[in-house]
């Protein structure tokens, strides 16, 4: 474990917690909201076994990182990632982002380019945008954002329970694809997050990534679940593939939003194959 300082709030440094394990070509894991890097547990063993150095870090406000009241926008979060990449001097790395982490990934490339990167993987993407539009009728608008933020303020633990029901499609998958123990473990991670950060990050859903996508010039894998109730496959996964037609695009049949847990075998198979030879994988 280690920490990297990414800023300051009043008298306190803002530090990111990270784990840097194994050896081989580096893979950097960018977790979703409102969870932390522990959510990558189903992938880490597969990545180690395939011969990779795995760097998993907690976004500011989540997990074991500092819990400031500032910096919950994609420019700052991408800057945090850049500080980690620079501090560890990572080269020829593969970035793997899930959900909110895809926003950090795409904004990082849009701002800092791909000099340090070998490839990237986008799982359940926010890009090209999550805002409701004619192209994306299943997206969100400001009233929806405000309702979610108020629910977080009113009773964050109860709201989190409802969220996980849709994250994991528990009405269909509990007891088959996901255990009660895994649900409890995931709930604990979300409940452990900073209440301020959990509330603040919802505003990032209104971000637009069309310009950032133009700078993706490395091999890319897009994974999206056909049963995602949060980021719809038509509005997000298929639109992203249309914007990045040279990417390898895989739809995981029946995959909910947190399919890295429920469909870990399918996800890991795609990750290991892509990271081994990203340049050889095409759409």
CB 122 within 8 A of CB 97: yes
- Per the document, the length of the chain is 283
Residue whose pair of structure tokens reads 């791909």 in the numeric block: 114
- Whether 228 sits among the annotated catalytic residues: the reply is yes
Catalytic residue among 228, 232, 241, 263: 228
CB 174 within 8 A of CB 168: yes
- Quote the radius of gyration of the chain (alpha carbons, Å): 17
Judging by DSSP bridges, how do beta strands 53-57 and 26-30 pair with one another? parallel
SS (H, E, C) 7-63: EEECCEEEEEEEEEECCCCEEEEECCCCCCHHHHHHHHHHHHHCCCEEEEECCCCCC
Q: Of 36, 43, 31, which Cα lies nearest the Cα of 63?
A: 36
Catalytic residue among 37, 65, 99, 194: 99
Helix (H) or strand (E) holding 64: none
Catalytic residue among 31, 199, 224, 257: 257
Distance of CA 130 to the CA centre of its chain: 14
What's the rounded Cα separation, in Å, for the pair 48 and 22? 7
3-state secondary structure of 250: strand
Tell me how crowded residue 20 is: count the other CB atoms within 10 A of its CB: 16
The residues assigned a catalytic role are 99, 228, 257
């Amino acid at each position: 474990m280690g920490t990297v300082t990414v800023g300051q709030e009043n008298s306190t440094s803002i530090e990111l917690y990270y784990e840097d394990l194994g050896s081989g070509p580096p893979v950097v894991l960018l977790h979703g909201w409102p969870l932390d890097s522990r959510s990558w547990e189903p992938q880490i063993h597969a990545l180690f076994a395939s011969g990779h150095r795995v760097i998993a870090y907690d976004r500011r406000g989540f997990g074991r990182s500092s819990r400031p009241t500032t910096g919950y926008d994609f420019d700052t979060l991408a800057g945090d990632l850049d500080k980690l990449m620079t501090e560890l001097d990572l080269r020829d790395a593969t970035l793997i982002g899930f959900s909110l982490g895809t926003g950090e990934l795409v904004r990082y490339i849009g701002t800092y380019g791909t000099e340090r990167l070998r490839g990237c993987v986008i799982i359940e993407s926010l890009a090209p945008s999550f805002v409701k539009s004619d192209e994306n009728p299943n997206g969100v608008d400001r009233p929806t954002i405000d309702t979610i933020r108020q629910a977080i303020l009113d009773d964050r633990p109860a709201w989190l329970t409802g969220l996980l029901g849709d994250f994991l499609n528990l009405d269909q998958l509990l007891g088959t694809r996901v255990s009660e123990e895994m649900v409890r473990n995931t709930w604990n991670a979300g409940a452990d997050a900073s209440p301020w950060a959990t509330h603040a990050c919802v505003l990032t859903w209104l971000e637009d990534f069309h310009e950032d996508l133009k700078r993706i010039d490395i091999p890319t894998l897009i994974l999206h679940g056909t049963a995602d109730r949060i980021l719809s496959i038509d509005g997000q996964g298929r639109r992203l593939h249309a914007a990045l037609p040279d990417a390898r695009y895989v739809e995981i049949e029946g995959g909910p939003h947190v399919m890295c847990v429920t469909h870990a075998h399918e996800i890991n198979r795609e990750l290991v194959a892509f990271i081994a030879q990203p340049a050889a994988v095409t759409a």
